[in-house]
Amino acid sequence: MPGFELFDESEKQQVAEVMDKGFTFRYNFDGMRNDVWKARELEQMIQDTIKVKHAHLVSSGTAALTTALAAAGIGAGDEVIVPPFTFVASVEAIVLAGAIPVFAEIDETLCLSPEGIEAVITPRTRAVNFVHMCGSGGYMDKVKAVCDKHNIVLLEDACQATGATYQGQSLGTFGQVGTFSFDSVKTISCGEGGAVLTNDSKIYDYAHQYSDHGHDHIGSDRGAESHPIMGANYRISEMNAAVGVAQWKKLDRILDIQRRNKKSLKDALKQYSEISFRDLPDEAGDNAGFLSIMLPSETRAREVVAGLQAEGIPAVFYWYGNNWHYLKNWTHIQQMKGPAKLPIELIADRPDYSQVKTPKSDEIMSRTVSMLINLSWSDADIQKRIDAFANVFK
């Protein structure tokens, strides 16, 4: 999955163009940059590829989530539905927006289920943060129908699913606003970076303003710009955007390699009766960054993970015991612990996150094992993994 596996001279050339002709700041300095605008260039490439009206680059996927929430009007006291299986930033962004995370159940897509969302909607629900985990999403037509029925915002966290689609439409473009991440280990890497995606011009205006201290970006004199709203500093630099320009040109190649490598491994594992596979609502649209298998029980899943590790196979993830990606292991979230008083502490009837239960998700995740699909694998590397599974299951 990591785009850095395909770093070559093209990334260096893009960065060199900024250093030789351009300027590192993404706004203004028109006379110094010789019409070199890497952030604008990458934004246009994203828009053209995924068929979205607006893409706005920011400094990280977390910054994209934070900006997306603010731009969509989600703030103090609003409830936002989120899955227990995600990267912790999905929850942190909600809390730091002053909103209230509400955990709902996933299904075997490894994403929020429409039924799980429906079950936790209350009069205070303002949004669903739908996270497309491990390169694929859920049944987006059904998810969108639930959100539309209740008039709540669908925010898509597609940070792990760049290039993935559902029924031909890019993930990140079904809801009012979506996000990508371009950090060092994502499908497309800028080193650090992210993007806010939307077809709503009002949300876009708020996004580019909020991520740059409220600047309206009208005209070419930064000091003369107005500030319609307050904001923060989530700007991407031209250096990071330059790396992204080179990487985005490789997206089709990256997806082709991932899908080919994943198919080889998955086809070999179909012979084992103990293994079932993650539910992919649109297998052709999977970006194939991970292969996720399900075992009969938690005990067997742990045995398989230990066996693969003993065989020397890296990047095997047992999310149920992972400190980064599953609610039950996030003591700082369960305790809502920050360096200073959090806005959620002012809400008297806030949930007790130490008591949140997601039994359906626990049952699924306790049996799930995922393997990262690398771009750099040779045929021998793939065969090594097939042989390792054979030894574990013999």
DSSP string, 114-157: HHHHHHH--TTEEEEEEE-GGG----HHHHHHHHHHHT-EEEEE
Q: Nearest-5° angle of CA 43, CA 283, CA 376?
A: 65
DSSP string, 340-390: S--GGGG-TT---GGG---HHHHHHHTTEEEEE--SS--HHHHHHHHHHHH
CATH 3.90.1150.10 placement within the chain: 252-393
In this prediction, residue 104 carries a pLDDT of: 98
Residue type, 342: L
| pLDDT beyond 90 at 54 | yes
What pTM was estimated for this model as a whole?
A: 0.97
Q: Give 270-310 pLDDT, tens digit per residue.
A: 999 999 999 999 999 999 999 999 999 999 999 999 999 99
CATH superfamily of 252-393: Aspartate Aminotransferase, domain 1 (3.90.1150.10)
Q: Spell out the long-range contacts of 111-120 with Cβ–Cβ below 8 A and sequence spacing 24 or more.
A: 111/83, 111/136, 111/137, 111/138, 112/81, 112/83, 112/138, 112/143, 113/138, 114/138, 114/139, 114/142, 114/143, 114/145, 114/146, 116/360, 117/81, 117/143, 117/146, 117/147, 118/146, 120/81
In this prediction, residue 274 carries a pLDDT of: 97
| β-strand partners of 54 | 198
Q: Give 322-344 pLDDT, tens digit per residue.
A: 888 999 999 999 999 999 999 99
pLDDT bracket for residue 394 (50, 70, 90): confident
- What DSSP character marks residue 249? T
Using CA atoms, how far apart are residues 158 and 173, in angstroms rounded to an integer?
9
CATH of 3-251, one of 3.40.50.450, 3.40.50.720, 3.40.640.10, 3.40.50.1100: 3.40.640.10
Q: Cβ(220)–Cβ(30) under 8 Å?
A: yes
| pLDDT beyond 90 at 117 | yes
Distances in whole angstroms, Cα of residue 159 to Cα of each of 25, 42, 243, 317: 24, 16, 17, 18
CATH 3.40.640.10 placement within the chain: 3-251
- What DSSP character marks residue 86? S
Q: Give 162-201 pLDDT, tens digit per residue.
A: 999 999 999 999 999 999 999 999 999 999 999 999 999 9
**Centroid of chain to Cα 226:** 32
Which sequence positions are flagged as catalytic?
186
